[in-house]
Chains A and B, each alone.
Chain A
């Protein structure tokens, strides 16, 4: 009875995951979809706690509820409190927690298995009977869950550190590709060895340590701009680790949830790579931004850079017909999403048409800018995607670029030697005037020079986005 009820709980859980994920693919139903999946998850969790026939001591129940209560409070408050700009790294952190959870399960189950095997009676019975095959299955699930979960854990922590700026520059040891690949093969071989020999606890902890190290090695050479892709990939890794847990326990809800995220996450990763026009292998193995690029080869005169002061810019914007704002990560860092909305409202009031051009990879995650601008109540239909806004630049008077760089870099179209060559960009050079707000002349995240700044139509409006835009709004108000 209890068992059947539990299976129904898991069925409901599985279906809500599929339906929820599907609904999240549409802006109108997305929030409801998330809620549905959350309800399904709750049903699966509550069912697992109560619907079984085991004698469970009060202490164990206490630990379970204690852990859930603690996790809920911490998770809830961190998620509620975090600033919108920090969202990507938080997702990465939570992803790492899931990976660690899968790894811990594997460690406990392995120790449990060792214990059973070393019991002379049970162990001999297993070895003699045909359940030896079953044992391989269990070991594969345990070891695979351990490796994948652990890599996802340590990789996510590095991704977190990279996104919050603690570890901004890619760290590359010489010939890291070869070393990483060798290391990966080593870890896999080690895992296979344990599966076939049964191994022992010491070896398992060694494997755990090796997997942690591999997760770090895998993530540190990758540049911050590629982190969204990495997080998405690690996300699908954790899904896979959860699915191996499902294998282990013949648990359908873990299988559905895990595989669903594994496959959906992989696809999402590929879609993101496509938006950047780079194959996934290039993200993982390719050097990006760290190497020397030949953009400033001598034969090309760059021209000079023009400054624009706040009053001239105020006048320029005030008397334009159409202004397109290109937001980038700099806007997020400076927390300038509210002031840019104020600028937008002010200009609209003065009869200027204002739109936002959203590049698929602007910010640190696809859709990052949308989330950020939505936070400050920018209307959804003012955010125009790249393919729709590009033809409009011809009729645009001013393009205001705030904290974006690589997504408007013409080298992506004109310079085959550039690392971002081939990436579709916002064709801002078609507009009559280009104004770039930047803190300094530093290169963008990809670490490459931007020839746009030397375009005769382009002028630079230096300063921290929030401060500079606040001054600009004040200046326009006085007109």
Chain B
């Protein structure tokens, strides 16, 4: 308890507080910009954190990480260009809301649900990190295989009206995930001698192409049609009724995000997509999904920010990074001479609680800043399309190029833009394709790893209760409703 209070008290230090404020602001900005992620920013600033005290350095990096995940939702909602991959699920419903003139409501809801998700996960981190971290050891390839199948099983339901089309999009995503060098055989697949492709199709350019570029192409076909004047209601913030409606989605998202984030092999993007699918599954307003559902913003945003706290679990408690960003934070910790692991919780609790306190503070800060800025950002809707969309394209180019500095990624983005455009015209949705791309690689790799571990015998799965349980849940989710209907029909009324 003393350590807890001591940690919280560090926020009284004006310098630490300044680091948190600076980190939060920077995080929102880089998160919103496609092409610069929280992880890139932390990597670039790593050398400068050496001069800081461990607490100040960690407070800074933690704040950037928390805020960047929220920042991604701003561009996702306003121009359909997810600033951060984890915001792709937010773009699905958020941008629809912005088109309906409810940008402010979507942005405000994103800030609130992000903050709640973030805070829930930090609280879990404070009380259950060492315990939750042990779960990571129970998850080997067979369990991840089952989990990935569970995720893919949701693809039929998310996205467009037609289940067949959703499944086709998902399968194409899985097929795209096989491009590049196969992990278990070292064979180059579908890369046609292009170096960039041999590492696999990068997720970011596909995302930007499918969402932002295809939207620009769509807008291009609307020229001549008088532009829909988006009412000034854009700047309106969510009401109490809105929050009450989304309450359940936020908690579902927070729970899923914390759990998925805590698994080292899965990150915020998966958390957000699964959060989106589950929010829809349990929603009372299913018909709104795909047409601008506020719950569809709240669920994934809570999930991706909960995944931030979640991914700190294995990072701090096991010394194994839970995401790309925590890998860099881990390096930063090591440089500061802090050795993560279970002992950190007993040996340096004050440092740990100071980190938690600063993450909590960052979550509250971007909530305040986000609410304040929502009114301003919402006015992006008022920029004339003739200036806005060419600008979005230019930002998309730098967004695709930035992470790997490869022109090949720009080509992939353009191709994805055309695919996304054709998808829209023929009633396909990009959401299942993204899900397939994210999980496809995991399905194949964990299956092959499992088979090596089981000496090439499928029977090996029988000895893995967690994997079997997850597969069972998947089967119930897929066939349960149909079975239930059959049974009901069988029972005489």
The answer to whether A and B interact is no
